[in-house]
Amino acid sequence: MSAADALSEKGIACTIFEREASLGGLAGSFRVGGVYLEKFYHHLFTSDLAMAQLIDRLGLGEKLEWLPTTNSYFVNRIYRLSTPLDLLKFSYISLFDRFRLGLLYIRTMFVKDWRPLESITARDWLVQMAGERVYQAVWEPLLRSKFGRYADQVAAVWIWNKLKLRGSSRGGKQEERLGYLRGGFGQALDAWEALLRKRGVEIRLNSPVERIVIEGGRVSGVVVQGDFIPYDRVFVTTAPEIFSSLTPDLPGEYREQLAKIKYLGNVCLVMQLTRSLSDTYWLNIGDPSIPFTGVIEHTNMQRPEIYGGAHLAYISRYLDPREPFFNLSAEELLEAYLPHLQRIFQGFQKGWVKRVWAWRDPYAQPLISLHYSQLRPPFQTPIRGLWLCCMAQVYPEDRGMNYALIYGRRAVDEMLATA
Ligand SMILES: Cc1cc2nc3c(=O)[nH]c(=O)nc-3n(C[C@H](O)[C@H](O)[C@H](O)COP(=O)(O)OP(=O)(O)OC[C@H]3O[C@@H](n4cnc5c(N)ncnc54)[C@H](O)[C@@H]3O)c2cc1C
């Protein structure tokens, strides 16, 4: 959408082919009681200026709220870890280790050059910065739960960027502030889609591209629902693995390079509840026996009244999409999670759950491994007229809607400059 926005602004004709029935991909929504809710939890950081500007441009600025949110960590119980004072009270680790953990957050803010962090793993860097005990108690479980068997391959760049992003999205009293579009980001997608259509962008929903055709070393078009449609340029925004499977005639060496980029999938169980689970918005799970990565209670950021009084919580699990767990239904996920939810949230009962939905995507988070700048494919592919702009190219920043906007425009600029 960002690329189509940039092209149509310049009067260049383009078509969006979207496999699904609506636009948005991972940032897409469904409706709860008539109100948009993201399939996967979404918020903005105060540094996400491109998103804030887009929302303004779409006339939705007054609905963008910057809200105080709380962060907690579950190991043997829930520890609130939102402010420096919470950190001081984090009795799961010794006082000395609390200082080391606090110092890690502060030192992260002063790291300006990410390049040296490309050649050290997150594990080694965190141990260097805060010690083995802090690593084992806090970081190891979090990295393991997000990246599974790839946890030891994650580069320090990724964790540094995550810490910096979350640490800088704070108000005057050091409390975290996150941005949300009251009524759901789906409203921005709708308004953006309408704007693009008005400018003449053709948007074809339920239209999976089946093949990208290359003739004589340059792209000649795409095949959709069995029909060949000619184009002089094709701009691909899917994960590299999908791109590769759609384009059988890519050069072998380039294809091998793309195959080195690994992704984690994600399954999100969304629960509509009659009551709140806790007072935390973002709960990280640090107990490896629990089969999910985090619990994000959306209505601890947004008011339940917006959703007719319903409390809404996401249970997120990152995993290899080949694991059978990836395909469980919403009801099966709930059954698997129930004993763990009862352990985490005092008094929790199945009867609190009114309704569940499950959303899943095999390409949810690229694995940012060592020397990723060498792995990251450029926007321009070896095929003339064929461009790639996807989440796996967002680097050293981490994937997010804000960077989808920035990178989409950047890739279009580069494409037009090489025309
Ligand atoms: C669990 C989770 C939480 C997140 N939380 C946040 C957050 O809080 N804040 C934030 O800013 N970002 C968040 N993100 C990231 C954000 O959703 C993405 O970075 C953003 O949506 C950009 O994604 P993308 O367009 O690169 O990829 P995608 O959203 O994956 O888009 C790819 C698109 O290609 C389509 N497609 C695939 N194959 C075909 C085909 N053959 N033909 C046609 N179309 C095809 C797909 O349907 C999809 O629409 C989160 C992501 C996840 C998974």
Q: What is the 3-state secondary structure (H, E, C) of the chain?
A: CHHHHHHHHCCCCCEEECCCCCCCHHHCEEEECCEEEECCCCCECCCCHHHHHHHHHCCCHHHEEEEEECEEEECCCEEECCCHHHHHCCCCCCHHHHHHHHHHHHHHHHCCCCHHHHHCEHHHHHHHHHCHHHHHHHHHHHHHHHHHHHHHHEEHHHHHHHHHHHHHCECCCCCEEEEEECCCCHHHHHHHHHHHHHCCCEEECCCCEEEEEEECCEEEEEEECCEEEECCCEEECCCHHHHHHHCCCCCHHHHHHHHCCCEEEEEEEEEEECCCCCCCCEEEECCCCCCCCEEEEHHHCCCHHHHCCCEEEEEEEEECCCCHHHHCCHHHHHHHHHHHHHHHCCCCCHHHEEEEEEEEEEEEEECCECCHHHHCCCCECCCECEEECCHHHCCCCCCCHHHHHHHHHHHHHHHHHCC
So what's the pLDDT on residue 217?
93
Q: List the CATH number of the domain containing 219.
A: 3.50.50.60
| Domain annotation covers residue 116 | yes
Residues 314, 221 within the same domain: no
Residues 227, 303 within the same domain: no
Kindly report the backbone phi and psi dihedral angles of residue 312, in degrees, each rounded to the nearest multiple of 5, phi listed first.
Answer: -125, 130
pLDDT for 300-316, tens place per residue?
A: 999 999 999 999 999 99
Confirm or reject: Cβ of 293 under 6 Å from ligand 1: no
* pTM of the predicted structure, to 2 decimals: 0.96
Confirm or reject: Cβ of 42 under 6 Å from ligand 1: yes
Residues 267, 257 within the same domain: no
**Domain limit, last residue, from 334, 349, 366:** 366
So what's the pLDDT on residue 171?
72
**Domain limit, last residue, from 174, 198, 230:** 174
Q: Inform me whether the pLDDT recorded for 187 exceeds 70.
A: yes
Of 275, 312, 274, 319, whose CA–CA distance to 295 is shortest?
312
pLDDT for 31-60, tens place per residue?
A: 998 999 999 999 999 999 999 999 999 999
In terms of C-beta density within 10 A (0-12 exposed, 13-18 middle, 19 or more buried), how is residue 329 classed?
Answer: exposed
Pick the atom of ligand 1 nearest to 209's CA. 42
| Domain annotation covers residue 223 | yes
| Domain annotation covers residue 221 | yes
Separation of 263 CA from ligand 1 center, angstroms?
A: 12
Nearest CA residue ID for atom 26, ligand 1:
391
Nearest 5 degrees, angle CA 79-CA 39-CA 276? 40
Of 341, 365, 361, whose CA–CA distance to 351 is shortest?
341
pLDDT for 148-180, tens place per residue?
A: 999 999 999 999 999 988 777 777 667 789 999
So what's the pLDDT on residue 39?
98
In terms of C-beta density within 10 A (0-12 exposed, 13-18 middle, 19 or more buried), how is residue 303 classed?
Answer: exposed
- Ligand 1 pocket test, pick from 22, 227, 238 with the greatest ligand atom count within 8 Å of Cβ, gives 238
So what's the pLDDT on residue 204?
98
> Tokens 């906007």 appear where?
405
Q: Inform me whether the pLDDT recorded for 399 exceeds 70.
A: yes
| Domain annotation covers residue 35 | no
Residues belonging to the chain:
419
Residues 268, 223 within the same domain: no
Separation of 369 CA from ligand 1 center, angstroms?
A: 20
Domain count, the chain: 3
Confirm or reject: Cβ of 398 under 6 Å from ligand 1: no
pLDDT for 321-339, tens place per residue?
A: 999 999 999 999 999 999 9
Confirm or reject: Cβ of 242 under 6 Å from ligand 1: yes
Residues 22, 164 within the same domain: no
- Ligand 1 pocket test, pick from 20, 26, 67, 363 with the greatest ligand atom count within 8 Å of Cβ, gives 26
Residues 238, 310 within the same domain: no
Residues 343, 293 within the same domain: yes
pLDDT for 224-257, tens place per residue?
A: 999 999 999 999 999 999 999 999 999 999 999 9
Q: What token pair was written down for 290?
A: 């629990």
Residues 164, 213 within the same domain: no
| Domain annotation covers residue 341 | yes
Confirm or reject: Cβ of 360 under 6 Å from ligand 1: no
Residues 278, 357 within the same domain: yes
Confirm or reject: Cβ of 298 under 6 Å from ligand 1: no
Separation of 51 CA from ligand 1 center, angstroms?
A: 15
Residues 274, 245 within the same domain: no
Confirm or reject: Cβ of 245 under 6 Å from ligand 1: no
Separation of 265 CA from ligand 1 center, angstroms?
A: 11
Separation of 361 CA from ligand 1 center, angstroms?
A: 9
Q: Inform me whether the pLDDT recorded for 145 exceeds 70.
A: yes
| Domain annotation covers residue 73 | no
In terms of C-beta density within 10 A (0-12 exposed, 13-18 middle, 19 or more buried), how is residue 125 classed?
Answer: buried
Nearest CA residue ID for atom 14, ligand 1:
400
pLDDT cut 70: percent of the chain above it: 99
Of 87, 90, 80, whose CA–CA distance to 104 is shortest?
87
**Domain limit, last residue, from 127, 157, 174:** 174
pLDDT for 344-360, tens place per residue?
A: 999 999 999 999 999 99
Over range 132-153, report the average pLDDT. 95
So what's the pLDDT on residue 61?
98
Q: List the CATH number of the domain containing 272.
A: 3.90.660.20
Pick the atom of ligand 1 nearest to 208's CA. 42
Q: What is the largest CA-CA distance in the chain?
A: 66
Residues 189, 152 within the same domain: no
Pick the atom of ligand 1 nearest to 390's CA. 26
Confirm or reject: Cβ of 71 under 6 Å from ligand 1: no
| Domain annotation covers residue 352 | yes
| pLDDT band (50, 70, 90) for residue 92 | very high
Q: Which domain holds residue 226?
A: 2-27+49-68+183-261+374-417
Separation of 193 CA from ligand 1 center, angstroms?
A: 16
The residue type found at 345 is: F
Separation of 404 CA from ligand 1 center, angstroms?
A: 9
Residues 269, 362 within the same domain: yes
d(CA 65, CA 69): 12
| Domain annotation covers residue 255 | yes
CB neighbourhood size of 199 (10 A):
15
So what's the pLDDT on residue 419?
65
Separation of 107 CA from ligand 1 center, angstroms?
A: 32
Contact 259, 244 (CB under 8 A): yes
Separation of 401 CA from ligand 1 center, angstroms?
A: 8
Pick the atom of ligand 1 nearest to 402's CA. 11
Pairing of strands 311-319, 294-297: antiparallel
